Amino acid sequence: MSIERKGFRHLTEGSYPATHVVGKSVDKVDGYALASGAPMYTDDIAARDFPNRLHGRILTSSIANGVIISIDTSAAEALPGVRLVLTWKNTPRTFYTTAGQGWPEPSPYDNQMFTERVRFVGDRVAAVFADSIDIAEQALRLIKVSFKEEPAVLDADDAMKPGAPIVHPEDPKGAYDSAHNVAAHLDINVGDVDKALAESEVTISETFQTHYAQHTPMETHTAFAYTDDMGKVVIVSSTQVPWHARRIVSRVLDIPMSKLRVVKPRIGGGYGTKQEILIDDLVAYGTIKTGLPCEIELTRKEEFVSSRTRHPMKIDMSIGCDKQGHFRALKMYVLSNTGAYGSHSLTVMSNTGSKTLPLYNKATDVRFFGDAVYTNLPVPGAYRGYGATQGYAALECTIDDLAAKLGMDPIELRKMNMIRVGEGSPIFEALGEGRQGVAQTIKSSSLPTLIDLGAEAIGWTEKRGKRTRNGHKVRGVGMSMHMQGSGIPLIDMASASIKLNEDGSYFLTMGATDIGTGSDTILSQMAAEVLGVTMDKISALSSDTDLTPFDVGAYASSTTFVSGGAVVKAAKAVRNQIFSVAAEMLGEELDQQLVIAEPKVEWDNTQPDPILSFYRMDDGNVVSARSGKKVSVSDIAYRAYYEINQHQIATTQSFVSPYSPPPFAAHFVEIEVDELTGKVEVLKYVAAVDCGVSINPDLVRGQIMGAVANGIGFALTEEYHFGSHGNMTNSSLFDYKILSRRDMPPTEVIVVDNYEPTGPWGAKSVAEIGINGAIPAIGNAIFDATGIRLHRTPYTPDKVLAALRGKSI
Amino acid sequence: MTISINVNTVERSFDIQPGEVLLDVLRREGYLEVKGSCHSGDCGACTVLLDGRPVASCLILVAKADGHAVTTVRGIGDQAHPHVLQEAFVKNGAVQCGYCVPGAITSAKALLDENPDPTEEEIRLAMDSNYCRCTGYEQQVEAVLDAAAQLRKGDKK
């Protein structure tokens, strides 16, 4: 199979089973509803169903560090239309983390709903629920707060210095060493890296600094809550993690889970920031206290200042190799700035090493270590790429500089050292997400092909090192290579339920949380493939803590692989139940062990599913392999539900995998540097990716394109500007520049499918990997064009110009 | 005060407060297909047509729309009767989270009404104010080219 059109090539390597729905770019199941603006997002539902709801607004800190000496809410409370004012004085004091992660939670419990201490400009001080947004905003202005301001830590480099202000003097549970502002610490050793570096014929050491950036989903964090007629608190939330949201809110507000339900409607983008419990606690508490529906919709400014960002990191990277370029030592130290709270501090830092260093598995001696430090700055959290993006910025730029030192082509140096099929890396086992990992062996990879196709598409041989000049503009090409994961092995669990309807259609409910990615669509495709039906026969619902089975949520590139595994298992189990009734109807024997055996996700060519030698699904019918007779699935359902041996044909299955097969990518870019202004223009971008079998190629392309656009913005234009007390000064979409339609350079996506035997229908995940390339590939292209290595991001004109004028950056 | 706006070809009158913007009144009156995002005219999510011209409804004082015609994305087409642009967005994989899509399709409609055969560059220019964080824009641009071609062939409305 090969599809080619401008900007998109889709190829396959190897051979695998024929499919009728999987691998097709079917319409997104919610496509027409979304394209006609159906009221399906959180605020739409609140406005439609609860026109008289209360509106919440949050008062945030205007100082970076200090203590609230007094807070007077009486004037605000007296304002007509104000229904509730919340501060630390009248809210639960439970310590928790806002990070929506698995259990036990890896992030420190350094957060409370409200505290006497504020830790950054933007920290929560109070909240108001009122009859209108205007009244709530007026009320905020009537709250009188007096602070005792204290010195603040506004630079991660200063956080661990003796005498530095302590951001969390209360010594939160789970923080590594709060007396020195260290939220999390890691030190992973394989072999003896310092000895290996000392003995290496060639070594290189560099330091890179990445910057603050924000996800900017078009829909800001929005949630509302109401109490239903049976006294249950229902939170409708733009969340990536409904079950984590329920668990955390249940604990913070001390509400039993039987009295708490979280519903995820359509979500207007997440990219990680909605893996965070930022307002769900407030709207739930609001409705408990007032008895009225309560909503909060963050403003765009609050989204920038008070929600979540990407961890800025300073990374020291050293590589040791022989004169031919064979890697021996990789040493990476990370100083991660986790801002005022330690949300995802340990796990993002883990991934900076665990998702990057195994790519170069020829190194025998590896050390990955780091500190995530508290500062009085905005709070980072999960963000597409999850630390790997920062790790690749350092690793892939250092490799290019090493290639220059060795006098080698950077592609050849990478090929010599990269991981290949059949190989593992000790890092997989040594380092998981904040704890020990799980050993992995690569079972599928198109990486060698991705490199060759990408190099050809950018014109590597013709352009590299040529420095084509047009007046004061000079061109260069650069590349970088990446892997990510497919969920967290042996941690991430997903489940799915399928039940058969009488007309032969199916209802699929999943915990998998479609946040706009298209997971409802691709997971329906996987079910339709197993059940031998077209897409219109599958009706999907995600996700609702009462109505759908459990799933950890949409993060860690887990949905396609992990939730897909659950859906494939559920589809196979329900199919086997259907076969069992078919056997009854046809008067044929069928071993019940085959019907009830736990279905497999993995595909093994030598061991086909044994039940398929008796029956197969074919366009809404069951066909007997023995007699050739056919019986319709609808007839099977009617018999099972109304006539003989009545029972429900349905199942719930869950999937957790010891595997997390990495998707692979090679990114190539051609840029032009304006030596007069320092502006870097991207002329062409090529992203080549292997995500196993593309379940829906158009949606795969969209995931990669979106990640590349976000990556180029991160590399060139998106950054936080800070005032003298750590206050963000560009908190609008006018001043914080994401790429617009005209900013987006011509971009070619090359997808090379390669059957991953551990994945559902051969798939791996693809959501995050595309964001990792822009910084190193563009950095390497700037180096090719000018000979200048930039060590700080983003590559804005001022930095490029200063470097061109001989200043060190 | 009370004002009259022709919304999606229906004459409506609304009680409004001075200072209210078109976006807020439309949503309050149930036109929930108009999505709010930045509330400062930077992102294009709330784009509607005012007398056929695309505007950021978060910036337009609603009183200014008194006596004028507003078209929202549902006035362009709905699920039962999608406009060729909406169909092209779905068919080209141009919808991800979908939050920007009503605004993007509305801008595209204004473009095609004026220029039935736009170049890729003209599409990017006409829709430049419609931010999208999911798609990287390419498939949305292809969708508009696709829709324009179908409309020119005359087999679609």
At A85-109, the pLDDT tens digits run 999 999 999 999 999 999 999 999 9
Report whether A163 contacts A737 (CB < 8 A): no
Domain A177-212+310-431 -> CATH class? alpha beta
Mutation site, B134, B139, B145, B146, interface A, largest A CB count within 10 A: B134
Domain positions in chain A: 1-19+443-483+662-809, 42-150+215-305, 177-212+310-431, 492-655
Distance CA B40, CA B59 (A): 7
Task: Select the residue of A266, A698, A709 nearest B93 (Cβ to Cβ).
Answer: A698
Distance CA A275, CA A277 (A): 7
Convert the pLDDT of each residue in A396-429 to its tens digit: 999 999 999 999 999 999 999 999 999 999 999 9
Tokens standing for residue A664: 């692979």
Q: Is the pLDDT of residue A3 over 80?
A: no
Closest C-alpha to A520, from A265, A730, A350? A265
Chain B residue numbers with beta carbons less than 8 Å from the beta carbon of A516 are 96-99, 134
- Computed over every residue of chain A, the mean pLDDT equals 97
Contact A300 B97 (CB under 8 A): no
Residue B71 forms contact with A (CB below 8 Å): no
Percentage of chain B exceeding pLDDT 90: 97
Neighbours of B50 (CB within 10 A): 18
Convert the pLDDT of each residue in A654-711 to its tens digit: 999 999 999 999 999 999 999 999 999 999 999 999 999 999 999 999 999 999 999 9
The CA distances from residue A183 to A174, A339, B77, in Å, are 8, 10, 52
Angle between helices A797-804 and A774-786 (to 10 degrees): 30
Q: Is the pLDDT of residue A4 over 60?
A: no
Distance CA B146, CA B153 (A): 11
Convert the pLDDT of each residue in A337-362 to its tens digit: 999 999 999 999 999 999 999 999 99
Closest C-alpha to A246, from A551, A653, A39? A551
Residue B21 forms contact with A (CB below 8 Å): no
Chain A residue numbers with beta carbons less than 8 Å from the beta carbon of B46 are none
Contact A705 B135 (CB under 8 A): yes
Distance CA A445, CA A441 (A): 11
Task: Give the CATH fold of the A492-655 domain.
Answer: Aldehyde Oxidoreductase; domain 4 (3.30.365)
Chain B residue numbers with beta carbons less than 8 Å from the beta carbon of A699 are 93, 96
Alpha helices, H only, chain B: 22-28, 73-76, 84-91, 101-114, 120-126, 138-153
What residue in B sits closest to A38 (Cα-Cα)?
B33
How much is the pLDDT for B21?
A: 98
Q: What is the least distance, in Å, from the CA of B74 to any CA of chain A?
A: 6
Q: Which residues pair with A616 in a beta bridge?
A: A623
What residue in A sits closest to B97 (Cα-Cα)?
A516
Contact A741 B27 (CB under 8 A): no
Closest C-alpha to A300, from A722, A721, A735, A742? A735
- Identify the CATH assignment for A42-150+215-305 out of 1.20.272.10, 3.90.1170.50, 3.30.413.10, 3.30.70.20: 3.90.1170.50
Predicted complex ipTM: 0.98
Convert the pLDDT of each residue in A7-22 to its tens digit: 999 999 988 888 999 9
Chain B residue numbers with beta carbons less than 8 Å from the beta carbon of A742 are 124-125, 128
The CA distances from residue A434 to A7, A119, A387, A426, A556, in Å, are 38, 25, 12, 16, 13
Distance CA B84, CA A347 (A): 45
Contact B136 A705 (CB under 8 A): yes
Strand A327-337 versus strand A365-373 pairing type: parallel
Question: Can A1-19+443-483+662-809 and A177-212+310-431 be said to share one CATH topology?
Answer: yes
Report whether A338 contacts A373 (CB < 8 A): yes
Distance CA A16, CA A364 (A): 35
Task: Give the CATH fold of the A1-19+443-483+662-809 domain.
Answer: Aldehyde Oxidoreductase; domain 4 (3.30.365)
Closest C-alpha to A276, from A379, A173, A156? A379
Radius of gyration of chain B (CA): 15
Distance CA A692, CA A21 (A): 16
Closest C-alpha to A87, from A55, A60, A114, A53? A114
Percentage of chain A exceeding pLDDT 90: 96
Q: Is the pLDDT of residue A713 over 90?
A: yes
CA A640, distance to chain mean position in Å, is 42
In the block, tokens 């046809």 appear at A586
Residue B145 forms contact with A (CB below 8 Å): no
Task: Select the residue of B34, B40, B134 nearest A706 (Cβ to Cβ).
Answer: B134
How much is the pLDDT for A1?
A: 47
For chain B, domains (ranges, CATH) are: 2-76 (3.10.20.30), 84-153 (1.10.150.120)
In the block, tokens 């939050």 appear at B99
What residue in A sits closest to B95 (Cα-Cα)?
A31
Closest C-alpha to A34, from B51, B22, B69, B132? B132
Task: Select the residue of B34, B94, B99 nearest A269 (Cβ to Cβ).
Answer: B99
